[in-house]
Amino acid sequence: MESYARLFLKTLYGYRRRGRFQLHAFVLMPDHVHLLLTPADDITLERAMQLVKGGYSHSVGVEISRREIWQKGFTDHRIRDAQDFAGHRLYIHQNPVMGKLVANPAEYRYCSAFPGFKLDTWGPPAAEAVESVGA
């Protein structure tokens, strides 16, 4: 999983650096991923997810092996307010604990609760969304 995880994070942060979206929280689990992000003004949520999923799939095909990675589609939730944002961020960070991978979210190296990940601050709730994507 290590090489897949590093490649996913490289893809995710590459699109963040290019300004395609703001990244607020994430967790990469063995069989799915949760992202809390805000797409750029000129990017739809669907396009942001297409970039992440397609970019990662392409990188895996080039660097590791060609195989089907993602399920079709994704689930989204528009964040309503600061309380909703905090609840979804907590849910994302608690995923590795609920999955019995670690006792504390900060121990899971593929979670934004792990020290050292750069994240964007949360802004206006109008374009905010949480995506859950199964692999």
| CATH code of 120's domain | 3.30.70.1290
Measure the CA–CA gap between 6 and 27, rounded to whole angstroms.
13
For residue 27, name the pLDDT band (cuts at 50, 70, 90): very high
Measure the CA–CA gap between 129 and 69, rounded to whole angstroms.
22
Amino acid at 135: A
Question: Pick the residue with more confidence: 7 or 62?
Answer: 7
Domain carrying residue 80: 2-134
Q: Are 21 and 43 in contact (CB under 8 A)?
A: yes
Measure the CA–CA gap between 74 and 50, rounded to whole angstroms.
10
pLDDT at 76: 82
User: What percentage of residues in the chain have a pLDDT greater than 70?
Assistant: 80
Domain count, the chain: 1
pLDDT at 135: 45
Tens digit of pLDDT for each residue in 64-114?
A: 555 555 556 677 888 888 899 999 999 999 999 999 999 999 999 999 999
Mean pLDDT of all residues in 16-24: 96
